[in-house]
């Protein structure tokens, strides 16, 4: 939780009278989500064009390390913003518009149902399945099995990004993934290249990758320009620090959920300014990347808030360490149940894409979840 936090209930008349001061930031987190039919009946507004709607939100106001929170109906929050001045009202208006806007297809994929991104690690040292699919033929066989199990996207990577992992030279990384990417691209599968290196992005896209999934948020030299000029859809992920080797060294946040939101907002603005089309952006808060278990849980509870960025939201938490630490210390391959419950908690907050190892189990769970939470009628 944030180092300084208060809650408020009832009228917002006296809440944060200083909210219009310079350096103060405001955020909206939808709460009390309703079936999307509540929108059709005029009782709520839709959340990112998906299966849920909302009429209330948590209003969060931050001044330095101090965070104030209040829960109120949207109408009261928006009136509060007008009373605090044009800057506050404009920011709230923009966030509400982003929260309610229907998402365009991403990489040609309709986001009307949650998408399953299956993980193919062509590595000897990934935290969960390192070495299992290091040989290209094994990686291809695994990818085929994931497609058969129901994966909508195959995320193919050649460098482990677990904490403290050894960097892989881009030419070696490219050598690992290109044959696998080419195989599935030629079959017509939607392939994502999991890489933080511009040189690998280039060869991956040349081989047929339709998405760049970058844990570093396009910070490598030339990566933003390449994404803009190639027109390739991109997943921007938050990672603390410059690389996986150092991301766990200094996990210093004022408020992890808000800090990650601000960082992603800044990266989005830079990408748009560089010419990346809005429909080619997706965001990922980076669960576990430079974050303690407490940080990750705090971010997951705020999943709905990230829709205020205005882009599709990808969540990757499959088999991650916090799941075992919250339970009995199970090794990665025994964290399927925890992965499912955490992942579907984020779907219940409107997330559009789950990145997972266990596609068959996720596919089955999604079928039940969709039946429980039907789309608008």
The SS3 call for residue 203 is helix
End-to-end CA distance of the chain: 38
Active-site residue among 91, 320, 335, 366?
320
Taking the C-alpha atoms of residue 21 and residue 73, their distance in angstroms, rounded to an integer, is 24
Contacts of 55 (CB under 8 A, 6+ apart): 32, 34, 38, 43, 44, 45, 73, 74
Taking the C-alpha atoms of residue 295 and residue 248, their distance in angstroms, rounded to an integer, is 12
Relative orientation angle of helices 359-372 and 136-149, to the nearest 10 degrees: 20
Q: Catalytic residue at 320?
A: yes
Q: Catalytic residue at 187?
A: no
Q: Which residues of 166-203 are buried (b: 16+ CB within 10 A; e: fewer)?
A: eebebeebbbbbbebbbbbbeeebbbbbbbbbbbbbbb
Distance set, CA 225 to CA 43, 163, 174 (Å) = 44, 28, 19
Q: In this structure, are residues 329 and 304 in contact, taking their beta carbons and an 8 Å threshold?
A: no
Contacts of 308 (CB under 8 A, 6+ apart): 27, 28, 95, 96, 98, 99, 261
Q: In this structure, are residues 117 and 151 in contact, taking their beta carbons and an 8 Å threshold?
A: yes
Q: In this structure, are residues 168 and 195 in contact, taking their beta carbons and an 8 Å threshold?
A: no
Which residues participate in catalysis according to the annotation? 320, 355
């Amino acid at each position: 939780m944030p180092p300084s936090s208060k809650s408020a209930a009832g009228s917002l008349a006296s809440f944060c009278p200083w909210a219009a001061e310079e350096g103060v930031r405001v955020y909206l987190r939808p709460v009390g989500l309703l079936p999307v039919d509540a929108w059709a009946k005029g009782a709520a507004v839709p959340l990112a064009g998906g299966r849920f709607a909302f009429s209330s939100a948590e209003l969060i106001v931050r001044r330095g390390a101090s965070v104030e929170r209040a829960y109120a109906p949207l109408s009261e929050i928006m009136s509060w913003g007008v009373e605090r001045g044009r800057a506050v009202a404009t920011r709230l208006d923009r966030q509400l518009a982003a929260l309610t806007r229907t998402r365009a297809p991403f990489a040609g994929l309709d986001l009307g149902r949650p998408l399953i991104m299956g993980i193919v690690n062509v590595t000897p040292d990934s935290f969960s399945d390192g070495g299992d699919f290091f040989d290209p033929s094994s990686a291809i066989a695994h990818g085929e099995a994931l497609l058969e199990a129901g994966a909508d996207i195959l995320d193919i990577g050649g460098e482990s990004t677990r904490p403290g992992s050894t960097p892989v030279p881009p030419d070696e990384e490219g050598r690992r993934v290109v044959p696998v990417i080419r195989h599935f691209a030629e079959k017509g599968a939607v392939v994502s290249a999991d890489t933080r290196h511009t040189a690998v992005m280039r060869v991956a896209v040349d081989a047929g990758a339709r998405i760049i999934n970058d844990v570093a948020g396009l910070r490598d030299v030339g990566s933003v320009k390449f994404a803009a000029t190639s027109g390739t859809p991109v997943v921007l992920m938050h990672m603390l620090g410059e690389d996986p080797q150092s991301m766990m060294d200094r996990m210093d946040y004022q408020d992890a959920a808000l800090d990650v939101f601000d960082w992603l907002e800044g990266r989005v603005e830079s990408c748009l300014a560089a010419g990346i089309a809005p429909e080619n952006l997706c965001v990922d808060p980076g669960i576990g990347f430079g974050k303690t278990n407490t940080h990750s849980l705090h971010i997951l509870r705020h999943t709905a808030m990230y829709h205020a960025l205005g882009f599709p939201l990808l969540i990757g938490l499959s088999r991650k360490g916090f799941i075992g630490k919250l339970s009995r210390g199970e090794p990665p391959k025994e964290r399927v149940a925890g992965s499912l419950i955490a992942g579907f908690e984020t779907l219940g907050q409107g997330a559009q894409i789950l990145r997972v190892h266990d596609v068959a189990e996720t596919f089955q769970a999604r079928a039940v979840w969709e039946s429980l939470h039907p789309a608008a009628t």
